[in-house]
A and B are shown apart, each in its own frame.
Chain A
Amino acid sequence: MRVEVNERDGQFQGGRTPEPQLLVRLRGVRKLFPITRGILFQRIVGNVHAVDGVDLDIYKGETVGLVGETGCGKSTLARVLMRLYDASAGSIEFEGRDITRLGGGGLRALRRDMQMIFQDPYASLNPRKTVGSIIGTPFRLHHIVPTSRIKGEVQQLMELVGLNPEHYNRYPHEFSGGQRQRIGVARALALRPKLILCDEPVSALDVSIQAQVLNLLEDLQEEFNLTYLFIAHDLSVVKHVSDRVAVMYLGKIVEMAVGQTLYQNPKHPYSGALLSAVPIPDPDLAAAKKRIILEGDVPSPIDPPSGCRFHPRCPNAQFPRCSDEEPQLRPHHPGQVAACHFPLEDRAIIDESAGV
Chain B
Amino acid sequence: MAVPLLEVKDLRVQFPTEDGLVKAVDGISFSIDPGETLGVVGESGSGKSVSFLTVMGLTRSRTAIIEGEVLFQGQDLLTLPNEEIQGVRGSQISMIFQDPMTSLHPYYRVGVQIAESIRTHQKVSKQEGMEQAVEMLNRVGIPRPEERARQYPHEFSGGMRQRAMIAMALSLNPDLLIADEPTTALDVTVQAQILDLLDRLKQEFNASVVIITHDLGVVAEHCDHIQVMYAGKIVESGDRRDVYYDSHHPYTWGLLSSIPRMDETSARERLNPIKGLPPSLIHIPPGCAFHPRCPYRFERCDQDVPSLLTSDGHHASACHLSLADKERIFKENVMARS
Interface residues of A (CB under 8 A from B): 69-70, 176-178, 206-212, 214-215, 218, 233, 235-237, 239-241, 243, 258-260, 263, 273-283, 285-286, 291, 293-294, 297, 356
**Segment 245-273 of B: residues with Cβ below 8 Å from A:** 245, 254-256, 258-265, 267-273
Complex: chain B residue closest to A263, CB-CB: B262
Point out the residue from A210, A276, A283 that lies within 8 Å of B244, measured CB to CB: A283
Q: Beyond A70-B187, A211-B273, is A240–B217 a contact (Cβ under 8 Å)?
A: no
What is the bound-complex CA distance between A214 and B270, given in angstroms? Answer: 9
Cβ contact within 8 Å between B263 and A69: no
Q: How far is the CB of B157 from chain A (nearest CB, A)?
A: 5
What is the bound-complex CA distance between A269 and B143, given in angstroms? Answer: 24
Cβ contact within 8 Å between A208 and B43: yes
Point out the residue from B191, B244, B256 that lies within 8 Å of A277, measured CB to CB: B191
Q: How far is the CB of A155 from chain B (nearest CB, A)?
A: 21
Q: How far is the CB of A13 from chain B (nearest CB, A)?
A: 10
Q: How far is the CB of A199 from chain B (nearest CB, A)?
A: 16
What number of A-B contacts does a CB cutoff of 8 Å give? 135
Which A residues touch B196, using CB under 8 A? 293
B193: CB under 8 A from chain A?
Answer: yes
Which B residues touch A209, using CB under 8 A? 43, 273, 277
Interface residues of B (CB under 8 A from A): 43-44, 157-160, 187-193, 195-196, 214-222, 240-241, 244-245, 254-256, 258-265, 267-274, 277-278, 338
Having A240-B264, A297-B157, one finds 19 other A-B pairs with CB under 8 Å, namely A208-B43, A208-B255, A211-B259, A211-B272, A235-B262, A236-B260, A239-B262, A240-B269, A258-B267, A259-B267, A263-B262, A274-B188, A275-B262, A278-B262, A279-B221, A280-B262, A281-B216, A286-B217, A356-B265
Cβ contact within 8 Å between B273 and A286: no
A interface majority secondary structure: helix
Cβ contact within 8 Å between B261 and A281: yes
Complex: chain A residue closest to B184, CB-CB: A203
Most buried by B among A177, A206, A208: A208
Which B residues touch A208, using CB under 8 A? 43, 254-255, 258, 273-274, 278
Q: How far is the CB of B181 from chain A (nearest CB, A)?
A: 12
What is the bound-complex CA distance between A282 and B193, given in angstroms? Answer: 19
Complex: chain B residue closest to A354, CB-CB: B263
What is the bound-complex CA distance between A294 and B193, given in angstroms? Answer: 8
Cβ contact within 8 Å between A211 and B271: yes
What is the bound-complex CA distance between A280 and B189, given in angstroms? Answer: 14
Point out the residue from A176, A233, A258 that lies within 8 Å of B188, measured CB to CB: A233
Which A residues touch B220, using CB under 8 A? 279-283, 286
Q: Beyond A178-B277, A274-B189, A280-B217, is A207–B43 a contact (Cβ under 8 Å)?
A: yes
Which B residues touch A211, using CB under 8 A? 258-260, 271-274
